[in-house]
Every structure is written in C-alpha cells, then in structure tokens.
Structure 1
Amino acid sequence: MSKLRLIPKLQLKPASYNPNKLVLVVTRQFGNVTEIGDPVSQAKIFQDQASDELIFVNIDEKNSSEIKSLADVINKVSQEIFMPLTVGGGVNKIEDFRLLLSNGADKISINSAAVLNQGLITRAADKFGAQCVVVSIDYKKDANGNYFVYINGGKEKTPFHPVEWAIKAQEFGAGELLLTSIDNDGMKNGLDLQITKEICDNVTLPVITAGGCGLAKDFSDGFLIGKANAVSAGTFFAHRDQNFMQTRSHILNSGVNIRK
C-alpha cells in the first residue's frame, strides 16, 4: 500500500497594497480573506519540515494576466524547494498548462474550466499525461440542504452533485481529484467525511480532501473514515502553534500509514 499524503495548501491572491503581487491568504467559506505572508518563504518552511508536496491555488481569477503572475511565483518557489507542486487558479486552456509546467509545476489543477469545457480534461491528459491533470471540485449544500458543485470561486452553482462530477472527471481522463468543502473551509470543524468517502468509494483515482481541519484528529479521520489518499489544509498550518512535523507525528500515532 502506498504511503498516504499530508499536503499544505497555499492560497494566493493579489496583495491589498500591490495588485501585481500575489500573497499568501487564508479564507473562511471562500470569503473573509486574510493576508498572511509571502508564499515563497512559507514554501521553504514546509520543505524544511519535510512536507510531501504543496498545492498552490490562485483564488483570484479576474484576468488572464494573473496566470503569468502565478507562473512567476511558481518559478521562484521551484528555485528554492524540491518537492512536487500542484498549481491551479484561472487555468482555462492548454497554453496555461504549458506555462505553469515550464515554470516548475508538476501537476495542474483545473476547476471552473473543467466544468465549462470538459474536453479540456481529456486534451490535457492526452498531451501532458493523466498524472498531470488534477480536477478540483468545490462543493457545498444549497438552501435545500442538497450538495452541488460550485465554480467561479464558489459563486456559481452547477447542476452536478460532487460524486456525479467526480465520476465524470475520471471518465474524461483526470489523474487526481482535489475536493474542497466550501461550507467547512476555514471553519476548523472537521472535514466533510461523508462526501469524501462517497467519492473515494466511486472512483479509482487518488483523492485529496480539504476544508475544515481544526485538529490533528481531523486529518486522521480524513484517511481512516473518509478513505482519502491525501488530506490538505491551509488555515490549520497558518494559525496554529503546532507545526507540520508535529501534526504528522499525531497522525502516525493514530495508525495512519503516512510518510515519516
């Protein structure tokens, strides 16, 4: 059995003091954005703590020029650290894949574009390999308590249930899935284990789950109950005295087979 993964997620957004500079931020339910620092410096800290890999997501996708800004950040990060990087946010075409991969990304995450242009999943998988294509699935309950996938930063509801869309993404050629519960994002109340487990039971792809970790136990639950291949978190590592290495030790002690 392959080792399960613990992955910090670094969210990026143009700085309030300089719209041309991407900075590290944390969010609550995809809103209430708080700027917390420099992404390159934080990436170096996670490397020193022996992180398995990193996820970078630009959560502000107002114009196509931000792909270049994101590529610049990834280029700087890749010169400082040596671990796999998954990068997303505003990726809409094959050229965006090529730009980010040429600047140090190992895998590319697509979200809104995957829903709106499902053929992009297949074309990217054919061109760069399925292992390079990560379909990001943001979802939440609607006013009636039913789960749906949302795009455009959680603002636009799609007709897809997250399990349904996960199955379709696999059929289109995705190599990995990244799940994020919008309802739980930044709330520190635990992962959405129900949807995580349902998706893991219905696909054969590696599944990363995120959104809601507030205790080390939440990570363990994501592996043991949710059956995820990886658990990712941003706010947890940004606002706690407990660092990445301590968290990993707690998870190992719970019997989860993650890398030491």
Structure 2
Amino acid sequence: MLRPRIIPCLLLHRGGLVKTQGFKDPKYVGDPINAVRIFNEKEADELMVLDIDATVNRVAPDFALIAKLAAECRMPLCYGGGVTTAEQAARIVDMGVEKVAVSAAAIAKPYLLTEMAAAVGRQSVVAVLDVRKRTGLFAKGYELCTHNGKTVHKLDPVAFSKQLQDAGAGEIVLNSVDRDGLMQGYDLDLAMQFKQALKVPVTFLGGAGSLEHMGELISNLGVVGASAGSLFVFKGKYRAVLINYPTPDQKIKLCRDALKQ
C-alpha cells in the first residue's frame, strides 16, 4: 500500500552541504557523508541529494562522491545534478542509487527521460521542476526556471510536467523557489494543481518549517512525498545547524492523522 514519504533534501555546493533561501545565499551546514549516516540512524524514508553546482558549471556528476553516498546510504537515494545522458543515469543506478533526477536537461530535451527510462526503468527517473510566481504589474500564474533560478523558460509548469510524465518520468518533484528556506509552509494551491494533473508520484519541496506543515500538505493532497531541507538541518529560531528527523512513531502518527482528515 502506498503511503506518504517524508524526505530530507540535501544540497551539494563546493563539496559540502548547504541550505539556501530563494535559491540564494548558501549556508554551509555540514559534511554530506556524515549527514547520510545520521539519516540512516533516524530511519529516513528516502534521501534526495541535489548538486546545485554541476548544471550551472556545465560539469558531469561527481561519480566518486555519488559512489560514497550510495555505499553509505541505507535508505532509497535520489541523486540529481549534472546528468545529461542516459549513460550517466545508468552508471549512477549501477552504483546503488535508486533514482536519478534531472531538471535543466529534461527541459532542454524531454526525450532524455524516454532514453533514461529505457536504460534504468521509469521508476528510477525523476524530473525536478523549479517553479516560482511570475512578477510584474500584470503578471499572473507561475513560471519555470533552471540554473538556480537564473534562467526562465516560457513554459506552463503544470502543462510541461504532464509532458515530462508522458516522456518517461516516473516521479515529478515540484520545488517552490518562492518558499525555499522560508519555513512558512508549502504553496498548497500550486501543489494541488500538480497533484490533480499528474498520475505519477509527486514530491513537494520548498517551505516546510514544521511537521505540521507536512501534515497539512498530506491532509490536502493525500499520498505524496513531503520533502524539506531547512526543517531537517536547522533547529530553533536562531537556525542552529542540527540534523534531525521525526522518530518512527512521530512519522506514523503524522501520516495517519493527516490522512484521516
């Protein structure tokens, strides 16, 4: 039976883990291997690791680091960053990574998802969409961006997510740029648009500042992935760095109570 997933998202920048706000001002929060070990102990449902440098710098994935992460990780691992070919995706999966995420490359050539699905299986192909509200006096709706928010694409995010689903994505991750690092809650209106449009599993990222925010997401949308960065690396109003995750009992109660509503 499918159930909600509670997923820490870790950002790689210059070899370390960072957390951003609005995709800006990365703050160092620790060593990636050490973080994986802690999340192992805390029995996280899944772990998402995104290299935010690779695509911007046009470099290939750091296969040596990915191999270390996969060897250490005792939960399903999703890696994204710099993947531009099905061959790279297959190499990453062969290392023991369950899912490979693509963003800018999928927008540039959606058929990449078809090739990846043929190489590693649709269940291992994840498309990440970074979405933010349009700005301007008469602007309405949302826009799709890549390269850490620096490049904007003239595509409707929801319609394009369906195109990526049809191309071969086995999961869509919606990342709210506006909510990134604010810890004020998910954009539920945007999340609902994606959930209603898609048939594949959907994971939402950006804005979670408490377990209550995750419960609200699950209560409104049902069985989805609830992902967060700041929530799992900061503690308290002064945002002291502390890797944390709900206990198994807390997680079970969160999902059970949310799905009852």
TM over 0.5: yes
The percentage of counterpart residues that share the same residue type is: 30
Match status 1:27 vs 2:17 = no
Post-superposition shift, 1:7? 0.5
Is the 2:126–2:169 contact (alpha carbons within 8 Å) kept by the matching residues of 1?
yes
User: Offset at 1:225?
Assistant: 1.3
Q: How many residues align?
A: 248
Tell me the equivalent position of 1:177.
172
Task: Determine if the alignment matches structure 1 residue 234 to structure 2 residue 229.
Answer: yes
| Letter matched to residue 93 of structure 1 | T
Shift of 1:3: 1.6
Q: 1:256 and 1:47 mapped to 2: Cα distance?
A: 25
Quote the residue 2:123 is aligned against.
131
User: Structure 2 unaligned runs (5+)?
Assistant: 237-241
- How many angstroms apart in 1 are the aligned matches of 2:87 and 2:57? 15
Residues of 1 paired with 2:88 and 2:74: CA distance?
22
What displacement does 1:247 show? 8.9
Secondary structure of 1:225 counterpart: helix
2:239 paired residue number = none
Alignment of 1:20-169 (within 5 A): 22-61=15-54, 62-67=56-61, 69=62, 71-143=63-135, 144-169=139-164
* Residue identity matched to 2:68: K
Q: Which residue of 2 aligns with 1:3?
A: 3
Q: Out of 158-167 and 131-140, give the one that drifted further.
A: 158-167
1:99 deviates by 2.7
| Deviation digits for residues 115-142 of structure 1 (CA, Å, limit 9, x no counterpart) | 0011101111122111010000110012
Find out whether 1:221 has 2:216 as its counterpart.
yes
Unaligned runs of 5+ in 1: 15-21
Letter in 1 for 2:115: R
Amino acid corresponding to residue 179 of structure 2 in structure 1: N
Preserved contact between residue 60 and residue 83 of structure 2 (Cα < 8 Å): no
* Whole-Å separation in 1 of the counterparts to 2:222 and 2:151: 28
Cα deviation, residue 148, structure 1: 1.0
| TM-score, length of structure 2 as denominator length | 0.89
CA RMSD, 1 decimal: 1.9
**2:257 aligned partner:** 255
Q: Distance in 2 between matches of 1:216 and 1:7?
A: 12
The structural deviation recorded for 1:246 is 4.5
The answer (yes or no) to whether the contact 2:205–2:228 under 8 Å persists in 1 is yes
Q: Structure 1 residue 227: deviation in Å?
A: 3.6
Letter in 1 for 2:6: L
TM score, norm. by length of structure 1: 0.89
CA distance in 2, matches of 1:151, 1:10: 18
Between 1:43-52 and 1:243-252, the stretch displaced more is 243-252
Aligned-pair CA distance for 1:251? 6.8
CA distance in structure 1 between the partners assigned to 2:251 and 2:148 by the alignment: 32
Task: Give the alignment of 1:186-225 within 5 angstroms.
Answer: 186-225=181-220
- How far residue 174 of structure 1 moved from its aligned partner, in angstroms, is 0.7
Compare 224-233 and 4-13 and name the one that shifted more. Answer: 224-233
Moved more, 206-215 or 90-99: 90-99
- 1:186–1:212 contact (8 Å) kept in structure 2: yes
Does structure 1 retain, via aligned residues, the 8 Å contact 2:59–2:82?
Answer: no
Shift of 1:12: 0.3
Please give the alpha-carbon distance, in whole angstroms, between the structure 1 residues aligned to 2:252 and 2:215.
6
Distance in 2 (CA, whole Å) between partners of 1:137 and 1:251 is: 28
